[in-house]
Amino acid sequence: MARRALITGITGQDGSYLAEHLLNEGYEVWGLARGQANPRVSRMRKLLADVRIARGDLLDQGSLISAVEKVQPDEVYNLGAISFVPMSWEQAELTAEVTGMGVLRMLEAIRVCSGISRGSATSAQIRFYQASSSEMFGQVSETPQTERTSFHPRSPYGVAKAYGHFLTQNYRESYGMYAVSGILFNHESPRRGAEFVTRKVSLGVARIKLGMATELRLGNLEARRDWGFAGDYVRAMHLMLQAATPEDYVIGTGRMKSVRELVEAAFSAAGLDWEQYVVCDSALHRPAEVDLLCADPKKARVQLGWEPTVSFDELVAMMVESDLRLLSEGGDPDQDSSWP
Ligand code: NAP
Ligand code: G4F
């Protein structure tokens, strides 16, 4: 019988790539979708017709229990979150509820449906993946960052992710659950939300190239990130749940670039000089910035055999090309029609 996976955040960037990967691996894939008429669900169905939908919301404990009871998953991937860092200052409480408490509710749903209580001999058969983030490192204490680097989150989002991370570890230690966190560094693709800097830049370049805009306004150009391709990172999520023992892993490329270098690469991919178009806008700076993030993915390479396959330059070129195609065909990035 096919193994069954339940993915929260199915309508997001990673949910779509993970669903594709698991379908290719022969899984029966279920996605948790919220809302009574969520337009992102119908868009996702066009791309991934074979994904089944279970209704539920990370804010609603009962709905998560019902979803786990209905799907009877072998693996649960908790990707659902408020994931845009600036929004976490504007809606800090909602971020704590979805990105932080949502992890507790999902773990509780698995615990309850598996009949586990304190001191019980039963351990859950369901394997749980938590989407932790390099934002937990925040103001970094060392570079590169490993599984042992201390956390100093710099946003309500980073704090909520740290809560989810420690809680996942705690359920593993308290209840013997197979529960792991992937500490993923920034990963991008043509399906990335338009609010994140890579996609904002690739769309900006495409608009300028096609004569639809004359400038691109950006915030801090000196921030550095370790950017990889989302399609590579979802393979790591799956590999983590196949390991003999439940452990946490850092996933990234080990290479860091600045936003300025991203901008240079993207404009040059379209044959443009970035300095003629980019406007620095201090209103786009954050209350507390994460200056640099750079992964040491050695543990994942040695223990899981995981390696990224797409370089920074290839990623940037892929995103610019995709947005040039999308806009020249009259697509609307807000409708995410860049999805193939
Ligand atoms: P994304 O594109 O922003 O997707 C977020 C998903 O969360 C959407 O499917 C959204 O569904 C869902 N969601 C929001 N509120 C929800 C709620 N109350 N109940 C259930 N689902 C809800 O994020 P992503 O880039 O795919 O990232 C996936 C996960 O990895 C997130 O947890 C993110 O924080 C984490 N992460 C991402 C990166 C990265 O670089 N991409 C790095 C480290 C960690 P709707 O369509 O209903 O809004
Ligand atoms: O693309 P970003 O918004 O991503 P950020 O804040 O690093 O968070 C992403 O990666 C995390 C993993 O490290 C995830 F957990 C999280 O969910 C999300 O996927 O910003 C990247 C950098 C920042 O330093 C920001 O200040 O780009 C800088 N930046 C400069 N100008 C900008 C802009 N960011 C955005 N979004 N928009 C700008 O105009």
Domain positions in the chain are: 4-187+228-251, 194-225+256-293+311-336
**Which contiguous run of DSSP H or E holds residue 130?**
strand 127-133
289 C-alpha to ligand 1 centroid (Å): 21
Pick the CATH number of 194-225+256-293+311-336 from 3.90.25.10, 3.20.20.140, 3.40.710.10, 3.10.580.10: 3.90.25.10
Q: Give the number of whichever ligand sits closest to the CA of residue 100.
A: 1
Q: Check residue 332 and give its pLDDT.
A: 81
Q: Check residue 106 and give its pLDDT.
A: 98
Give one word for 272, left, alpha or beta, with left for phi > 0 and alpha for psi -120 to 50.
beta
Q: Give the number of whichever ligand sits closest to the CA of residue 295.
A: 2
The answer, yes or no, to whether any atom of ligand 2 lies below 6 A from the CB of 83, is: yes
Helix ranges (H only) for the chain are 13-24, 39-47, 61-71, 85-90, 92-95, 102-113, 156-175, 197-209, 230-242, 259-269, 298-299, 312-328
- Interaxial angle between packed helices 197-209 and 312-328, expressed in degrees from 0 to 180 and rounded to the nearest 10: 50
Positions marked active-site: 133, 135, 157
36 C-alpha to ligand 2 centroid (Å): 30
Tell me the per-residue pLDDT of 77-114, one tens digit each, with 9 for 90 and over.
Answer: 999 999 999 999 999 999 999 999 999 999 999 999 99
Ligand 1 atom index nearest CA of 59: 18
Give the residues of the chain that fall short of pLDDT 50. Answer: 337-340
Ligand 2 atom index nearest CA of 220: 30
Q: Check residue 36 and give its pLDDT.
A: 87
210 C-alpha to ligand 1 centroid (Å): 31
Q: Check residue 335 and give its pLDDT.
A: 67
The answer, yes or no, to whether any atom of ligand 2 lies below 6 A from the CB of 131, is: no
Ligand 1 atom index nearest CA of 13: 26
Q: Residue 102 is encoded by which pair of tokens?
A: 């949502």
Would you say domain 4-187+228-251 falls under CATH 3.40.50.720?
A: yes
Q: Check residue 154 and give its pLDDT.
A: 98
Q: Beta strand 257-258 with 224-225: parallel, antiparallel or unpaired?
A: antiparallel
C-beta of residue 16 within 8 angstroms of C-beta of residue 234: no
The answer, yes or no, to whether any atom of ligand 1 lies below 6 A from the CB of 101, is: no
